[in-house]
Structure 1
Amino acid sequence: MGELLLYALDEAGETAFAEQLPAAERGNARGLAEARLRDHHAVEVWDGPLCILRLRRRPAATA
């Protein structure tokens, strides 16, 4: 297992924020990603070269 990196993405798919997750937080990676998703369009968690989690906000409903 490599180090976990969390990337927050903007609507264009560009990196808006990145952080290294401590090894002790590996089991809570999804919870941390969900928390970051509140402030960003999408979040990805990478384990070395492998994307292990990708979350995106639901598109806003149009009326």
Structure 2
Amino acid sequence: MQELLLYGLDEGGEPAFTQELRGDDRDRLRTLAQERLAHCHSVEVWDGPLCVIRLRRDKA
């Protein structure tokens, strides 16, 4: 199984935090990403070399 990593990015696209996800988190990836989006500009979830989710905050 590939390692899943969630990245919270700032407005410049630099990582503000990272979170390693367990295999049982796979069913909740989008929910987890949306929750983390409240604390950063954008969120990406990577499955090895493949970005599987990319979310950005709406511009105010």
Give the TM-score normalised by the residue count of structure 2.
0.96
Tell me if 1:20 matches 2:20: yes
Q: CA deviation at 1:46?
A: 0.1
Tell me if 1:45 matches 2:45: yes
1:56 corresponds in structure 2 to 56
Q: CA RMSD in A?
A: 0.7
State how many pairs are aligned.
Answer: 60
Q: Which runs of 4+ in 1 moved over 6 A?
A: none
User: Whose radius of gyration is greater, 1 or 2?
Assistant: 1
| DSSP 3-state at the match of 2:24 | helix
Identity %: 58
Give the TM-score normalised by the residue count of structure 1.
0.92
| Distance in 2 (alpha carbons) for counterparts of 1:31 and 1:59 | 20
| Distance in 1 (alpha carbons) for counterparts of 2:15 and 2:39 | 13
Tell me if 1:10 matches 2:10: yes
